[in-house]
Chain A
Amino acid sequence: MARVILDGVSVSFPVFNANAKSLRANLLYLGSGGILGQDLRGHVTIAALSRVSLCVETGDRIAVIGRNGSGKSTLLRVIAGIYRPTEGSVRVDGRVSTVLGAGLVVDEELTGWEAIEYACLLRGIPRDRIDALGKEVAEFTELGSYLSVPVRTYSAGMKMRLSFAVATCDAPDVLLIDEAIGAGDIYFLEKARQRARNFLEQSNILFLASHSEDMLQSICTKGIVLDQGEVVAAGPIRGALQAYHDVGGPPRNRVTVSAVEFAFAEASEDGQGEPGQPFASSSVPEHPPAGAFDGNARTYWLSDPVSRVRDTAFIGFDFGPDRSIEVRQVVLRQRVHDLDCAGCVTCVAVQASDDGFEADVRTAETIQVEPDVSKQSFTVPPIGPARSWRLLARSDSVAGRPWGLSELDFDSVPAERLDEGRAIGSDPAAMNVPVAAAFDGSPFTQWTAKERAEAVNGRSWIGYDFGPDREIEVRSFTLRQWNGGGNPNTIPAVKVQYSGDGFVTDVRTADTVKISENTARNSYDIAPSARARFWRLLADAPTGGGHWGVIELRFSQYPVRRSPGGPDHGR
């Protein structure tokens, strides 16, 4: 069983300029110690990978897609064990084999035969097998009599054949190929493809980084898209390639936001609370960020998210002996990019207890979680206050199911009931599926018909009229988009607007929110604005018309709040 697990892997490179790499700079640093030394030592670091989490199991052929410098090679080298991640951990079960450069790993003065022998040696193939495997490799390369002349006389394609053949000769469990394979001719690509398919039958894992989309599409089953060191999409190869095209445009400026920086202006209902104690069934939360606690919401990260749930696993929070909190909303983000997701935990129980879940275990709700990395928020029905709250995952399968959270918020503020009002939209005919059950207390849900997924030429919006007697300040919304089958031109962002007169003359914009590309339900926070009767999401179409279809929309008065202050507990 081959398996590759990356858990929150970050890699940052020091880039030494001539000064920083030399001894002089460091000696000067010792001597001066002040500003001069800092300047001399001020080497730049490049974040080549940031918080990449992956879980790849037997039989996957993964395309690693991304622009130049997006971190593809670094990712492969991290998996190969060549680079040690600066943060996070890598686990690879199985023997790894690599083709990471265009050249051969052995001296080019060697003849083809010798190169095969020594390259096998490098791969750690025992000597008694090298003879037999060497012959097979020679056969596969079809280099014939060229094998008797030095490799330096070979063309790039011929070298690549040799590297590929050696790398695959003894059916490694994990094969990593970077670019190099692109040098092959069409005939060879077909052979390589064939070999890659055999690979799958031998139930191994392939990672292939390339810019040749034809090749990726024909060899790989799944893809991950990297952009500036982050995994921005993962899934079946077609979708991944699509996402890669969507990434386009000039490179984004990287802004690293730590948990501390998620701050909202609005003060919490019951003021600053005392920090409680996070708890979990297995790993201890690793990064409880400062300021995560404001009496209501709470965020923390789990350190070992890919551990499998064999029986039950939970993560939760103990609010302390003196407090009782009623949790009304849960926001969670799962950490693992499990490309399969067959066998992930999809169902979690929200439970409350006053005695640490000994005798008193109350289940508030069982929620369905999307096997997806996106942040999802869920409303919990009222069951009264309790000291401890947790999410419980259960697995009946013997093998266990992967389970891991990267972020978990409990929010105790129950929102005001908003059970009256009516849906509004730019196309009233489309607003024909109001679901009664969706009016469950705080937020409300509104579906639009699927026909709304047509291209937006001009402007399209969907919103809510809270009625003449009420003014609401919307602070978050939950949105599920209708996916028209991998639509290339979806709306990247919506404007959250409010009005007092139905958007006739009074149109105010609260926030512009970037929409996640996937179809999962996502929740978004909105900057504080003002109270108003009418609220809407406005899709501003790019030229040519983007596609836009909302199948679920909830507005909530209360944002998931995280205050800037608060003690830094647990460090």
Chain B
Amino acid sequence: MSTLQIDQVSKLFRASAGGGLTPALRGVSFDIGQGEVVTLIGESGSGKTTLGKIILRLTAASSGKVMFEGDDISVFSGKRLREYYRHVQGVFQDPFSSYNPIYRADRVFELIRGVYFPHTGQRAWDAKIESALLAVALNPGDVLGKYPHQLSGGQQQRLLIARALLLDVKLLVADEIISMLDASTRVDILNLLIGLKRSGLAILFVTHDLSLGHYVSDRTIILRRGAIVEMGDTIKVFSHPQHPYTRDLLAAVPELHKKWQPAAGGAAIPPDDVDVLTAAAPARAGHGQAPGPAGTDRPPQPMAMLEPPPLVEYEKDHFVAAAES
């Protein structure tokens, strides 16, 4: 049985008072197994963070179900919800904002102690913290007793992962956890995640960075405007991407040793907001995307677009959505 199953999850936001509903997620389904890293890749506004929040019960889905070890998480409350958080934890983009700057950083450990470990003695608790810190390659002496501003971004992020490890965590939702870290420390956090995965942790790695996703994950899901456009085995998705959007994304990734391929008429993918021009210039047609109303980058008719494009199996463990018209 999968650790987490996402079943036809949709989320609608009301864009403005009296305004229409904007779909942030449209019928998203996939699952994550034990010891598996699933990367969720999407540009801003694709709904990737919303999905992470739904899994962490920070917001509710408008329709669809999220099942944790076979149980629908939307009905959890009280003790059962606390139990859920013992197994499912999140780490987010800006580590500094996860700490209260006027307290020492290791207070994040004490905060979960009261709820989850009321009967653990001091000595056992200290040993537990020490082993969690060692698991994230932190030297306890370097970080315990320090204030958040005295720690580097990488140390702060590790400390938060260590906090998740104190619990009996089975699924970690890692939302852009390295985009604020320096290049020279980023990869260490990635390697840490890989180590945790090998010990059986399921990880949902949310990112906009395709190369990081490729490095770390077993399976990849490409989200666009709230719907899955392509998903499957990471190597398959990256080595023969089928959806035009995936190909465009890959073509725009800046690489060290390969220049962007020159594309006819400027940028290979006009960013969504240049749709205005696309409509007038037939040369750029055939992108499989509907031009939005002039001057906005919002999809044209939210409700009409709620139905996600159906996924077709291109090969084993590699699914592609039909192009949206």
| Co-complex (A, B) | no
Q: Taking beta carbons and an 8 Å cutoff, which residues of B are in contact with A?
A: none
